[in-house]
Structure 1
Amino acid sequence: MSSYNLVFLVLSLLNVSLCQEDTVTATVAEGQLRGKVAKTVNGVTYYSFQGIPYAKPPTGKLRFKNPEPVDPWEGIRDALEEGYICPQYGMVMNANNDISGEEDCLFVNVYTLSLESNSENPNATMVWIHGGAYQTGSGNIESARPDFLLEQGVNVVTLNYRLSALGFLSTGDDVIPGNFGLKDQVLALKWVQTNIAQFGGSPSKITIFGQSAGGASIHYQVISPLAKGLFQGAIAESGSALGSTVYETPAKARQRTIRLCQALDLDSDNSTEILEYLQTMFTEDIIQTVTYSLTAEQSIRESVHFRPTSEENSSGDQQFITDEPINLLAAGIFNDVPFISGTVTDEGMVMLMEIQGDSSKLETFNNNMAYMIPENLNVDIDSDEGKELGEKIRSFYVNGRNLTQDTHARDELPHTMFEYGTVKHVQMQAKLAKSPVYQYYFTFKGSSSTVKHFQDNDYSAVGHGEELKYLFYDPRQNYSTGSPEQITSDRIVKLWTNFAKTGNPTPDDDAVLENVTWSPATDEEHNYLEIGSDLSLKQDLQPSRMEFWEEEYETYDSWPQ
């Protein structure tokens, strides 16, 4: 054997040895998994298991059906890399509109500090549900790196769920009841309940958390009977089932489905024909046609197209919800667990940027400010009362002026339209729940603003999703030790992980948290924690704006009183 071949053989054997040392195995209910050893940004060792299927691929006859548990497998299944993301059309705020993803996308990713099964002191687990207007996103690590959370001693699980029409299309009856993306989340939570002990976690210490549509999903899981007992805490960031764009009546959901079918050359209102036809369509055709099936009004007003709905016209025991979310909350029908919910200062900035960047859309809004009316307010925007309310909004928020393309005019958009649902559900649950309900308001403006990044100028704001870069590790951010950004990151991570471990974000005095006590909201005291340069407990978030919208919802009989 030549010296070259000998060296090659030795290096090959060494590489095999290293690969074996860098992998670990775990046994779950469906079979064995091979994961890998990794380190956080600060050098803490953890174990990564990615691309674990929790459901059968929702393809063919399983398209537009409730998810089914995955079948067991033989041998050791590699869990070394993430699975496919769910089909989606482009990315939020990205010029690339290519369709990506595969329907075989129902995977979870597990990150854990321990593989000691049935430990006497198991870790709490945080299950992340991503946002993206129910149209984009995934549980992939690029958008939710768990380093900071793991370093506080919790497990982290992320997941994919069906999106857009594939996840939320409905005929408003038994044939296509809808809510498949939310039911995917339920099945993933059942998988976590069954298997988390094999990853050093406790099935009785599970907290679900998410942002935007993920935050709304969290709130939906809180009010769904299907999720009862699957988690012991919930954190909804900038999302609520009472949000103006995340619910649709069965009748409107059916109308949306019929319009999609017409755009796909099926002129039928028969639910069975619709199901059979759509099950034969190419994935790309369905996703791509969604935007072409919108009415002119929808194309201007909507950020979420296919969305959750009530299954009141369906039968069986797999109905996700059977009434409007507001009615369920008013009746006290929700899973009573410790709950955190909140928003950021400039929630509406994403919408404002879109309007300001499109002169045609800007003109449309200025000609009829009724386009600013929340979708769940029962007002026809083309009616006299709609136009009257539009002018009332213009007067209240911008002193009767037109919107402009001035990128510094952040107060031109009624951000509270996005906040109102959160404040409303916090107040309703605080009144009826036995478990604590905590509210926060994230106001910290760091040196690198998400809004500033997308607008490519010097203007900064605390925009939608701003808190995520402090909660998850982002290699593009380089916070120096002791900087305000690093301190803010330490604080929000500590608050969230304290809550996951104990159900209380401030269980003890803690210098990192400035020894603050975060008091829950009650029926009498509308407490909230402002997370800014400092932490401070306050009361009654934006009272004048909340009163404005409360009056309008009462006037148009959109909320039960």
Structure 2
Amino acid sequence: MKMIHLVLVGFCLSSAAAAKLGVVRTEGGLVEGLSVGTGLFRTVEEFKGIPFADVPRKWEKPEPHPGWDGVLTATEYRDRCLQVTLLQTKTLGSEDCLYLNIFVPHGKSVSSGLPVMVYLFGGAFLLGASNDVEVLGESLYDGKELADTGGVIVVTVNYRVGTLGFLSSGDERLPGNYGLWDQHAAISWVRRNIRAFGGHPDNITIFGQSAGAASVSFQMLSPYSRGLFRRAITQCGVALSPWALQKNPMATLTKIARKVSCYQTEEDAMLACLKTADPVKLTMAGKINTLNLFGKGPVLDLLELAPVIDGDFLPDHPSKLFHHAAQFDYLAGVNSMDGHIFAGIDVPSINSMKEATTAEQVRGLLAGLTKEKGDAAVSSAFNVYTVHWGLAPDPDIVKKTVADIETDFLFLVPTQIALQLHANNTSGARTYSYLFNMKTRIPGFPRWVEAEHAEDLQYLFGKPFSMPLVYFPRHRDLSGYMIAYWTNFAKTGDPSRGDNRVPVSWPPFSKYHQPYLIINNSMTKSSVSYDLRSFYVNYWTQTYSQLPAAGRIEEKESL
């Protein structure tokens, strides 16, 4: 007992003795965070709620923060940006929301020159925050474990979402992309100020998941990012994903205008009305209509608010902007069942123990996803995805096919195209591809379900270490592997090379050679594979893309 007491006292003393920055001078003023002991002579200093821009004006780019007097106590997360709740029933958050959080690891001496990793959260461009999803009192994006284990500074940032972040008229009157400008302002602030926190301004990696990953992709492709950061990681989303760009911004704007009683038929008058509308009502007007969620076309069609090609931040279609990304080292991948959650809404029978999924349901899903190409696309895609079924397919194989279709269409194929475009354009920067396929931890799903959308995040942010009672040793193994690969990449541009040991060497993806790493808890040399789902990637990128648009087919037939 006495020995345990001595160890605990020693631990407390060692944590207290560990180095800390204390009061830090930023461009806006002085800030002071909180030092948290993480081990023997190890602490993470947390600075929460530092403003990186002023309170944003409605549908305007962020402006520099005016600064403050005295020392800002940066120990609490600030409000998320005004948004709908997950159940879409009300709003939460504030317009005063452009804040970031910094996690700095220290040993016996104060850190300096550390690599920096800036995280952009996901949430369909509709919701989310830098401190999102509290689990047992801890934010999912708490950067402490990643910073401490990986030896990097972690920064998490807020940005505007929903109507206030992405409403657009599709032209210069209301250009949109305000959330992307917020992200850009945050990354720029980090570059200007991070040296004072012990970070290296020339070694910044931006990373994100889902809409946050697409955001990272857009930041890479924007001409405004030249020289701003060095590396980028996209997890389960890219700018080429079919949900990542608004298809008809003026139609979406008109729909939202009607919901806030802006009934003007003349566009300029309608826009003037919108600018005077209540922000909370505007935010609610941008919610997804949950009544349309089940059985009325794919979920994809309901995700209307997103970035736009504005001729400024995004001067052209993302596929034509990869020359801007050539300067950045790039690591990208998907989860093996990224599309399962969406497939379960579009075809609910796939998660039912009693109900079979029919070939007609598979055709119906494909019709919804490929409507721009018409009936010919449905038949051709159906033939590709059922070629392995046989005459009497196992019911589980049919159900898994539905999840595979949505994973490929929404996530995997666009990511493979982005990787290829990056590799084709790069001159010296490196490209890496992965597939995360750890079995799901979500109870109640069928046994064939592997890695669900967003399941990678708990491992990357070290939850198996910070909440050990709800995880097994295999989860800690996986978490250690992911943190090592991600932070090695942030340090050196090579996920296999750095301070953190990895189980398998990860070969780079190139113009003519497409290896990818399969990431789970039992990694061996066979975890390196090649040409990820190339049969399906080739179908979507070659056969499908060359099919004529539905309107052109009808035109031809009427002639």
Q: Same fold (TM over 0.5)?
A: yes
State how far apart, in whole Å, the 2-side matches of 1:98 and 1:499 are.
40
Aligned partner of 1:199 among 197, 205, 211: 197
- The structural deviation recorded for 1:41 is 7.9
Aligned partner of 1:419 among 412, 420, 443: 412
Aligned to 1:349: 340
Structure 2: which amino acid aligns with 1:225?
Answer: P
CA contact (8 A) 1:55 1:67 kept: yes
SS in 2 for 1:464: coil
CA contact (8 A) 1:430 1:437 kept: yes
Aligned to 2:215: 217
State how far apart, in whole Å, the 2-side matches of 1:239 and 1:424 are.
11
2:100 corresponds to 1:101: no
Structure 1: which amino acid aligns with 2:230?
Answer: Q
SS in 2 for 1:302: helix
Aligned to 2:557: none
Count of aligned positions: 509
CA contact (8 A) 1:235 1:340 kept: yes
- Normalising by structure 1, report the TM-score: 0.81
Aligned partner of 1:529 among 514, 517, 520: 517
Structure 2: which amino acid aligns with 1:544?
Answer: F
SS in 1 for 2:253: helix
State how far apart, in whole Å, the 1-side matches of 2:217 and 2:22 are.
35
Map 1:69-80; keep pairs closer than 5 Å.
Answer: 69-80=64-75
Aligned partner of 2:279 among 260, 283, 287: 283
Aligned to 2:245: 247
CA contact (8 A) 2:43 2:106 kept: no
- The structural deviation recorded for 1:396 is 5.2
* Closer, same or farther: CA 124–277 of 1 in aligned 2, 3 Å: same
The structure 1 segments of at least 4 consecutive aligned residues displaced by more than 6 Å after TM superposition are 292-299, 362-365, 397-404, 456-459
- Normalising by structure 2, report the TM-score: 0.82
* Closer, same or farther: CA 171–115 of 1 in aligned 2, 3 Å: farther
Aligned to 1:467: 456
Structure 1: which amino acid aligns with 2:67?
Answer: P
CA contact (8 A) 2:43 2:107 kept: no
Q: Aligned residues: percent identity? A: 27
SS in 1 for 2:517: strand
Aligned to 1:11: none
* Closer, same or farther: CA 145–345 of 1 in aligned 2, 3 Å: same
Aligned to 2:554: none
SS in 1 for 2:536: helix
2:479 corresponds to 1:489: yes
Structure 2: which amino acid aligns with 1:105?
Answer: C
Map 1:352-391; keep pairs closer than 5 Å.
Answer: 352-357=343-348, 366=360, 369=363, 371-372=365-366, 379-380=371-372, 383-385=374-376, 387-388=378-379, 391=382
Aligned to 1:145: 142
CA contact (8 A) 1:370 1:390 kept: no
- The structural deviation recorded for 1:457 is 7.3
SS in 1 for 2:22: strand
CA contact (8 A) 1:29 1:195 kept: yes
Aligned to 2:424: 431
* Closer, same or farther: CA 459–334 of 1 in aligned 2, 3 Å: closer
For structure 1, which runs of at least 5 residues remain unmatched after alignment? 1-17, 313-318
State how far apart, in whole Å, the 2-side matches of 1:457 and 1:178 are.
41
2:409 corresponds to 1:410: no
SS in 2 for 1:133: coil
SS in 2 for 1:478: helix
Structure 1: which amino acid aligns with 2:99?
Answer: F
The C-alpha deviation readout for 1:280-322, integer Å capped at 9, x for no partner, is: 222221122224789976775435320111013xxxxxx1111
* Closer, same or farther: CA 531–456 of 1 in aligned 2, 3 Å: closer
* Closer, same or farther: CA 295–508 of 1 in aligned 2, 3 Å: closer
State how far apart, in whole Å, the 2-side matches of 1:293 and 1:258 are.
16
- The structural deviation recorded for 1:487 is 1.3
SS in 1 for 2:171: coil
Structure 1: which amino acid aligns with 2:102?
Answer: V
State how far apart, in whole Å, the 2-side matches of 1:307 and 1:401 are.
42
- The structural deviation recorded for 1:412 is 2.6
Structure 2: which amino acid aligns with 1:213?
Answer: A
State how far apart, in whole Å, the 1-side matches of 2:40 and 2:541 are.
47
- The structural deviation recorded for 1:401 is 9.6
Aligned to 1:326: 319
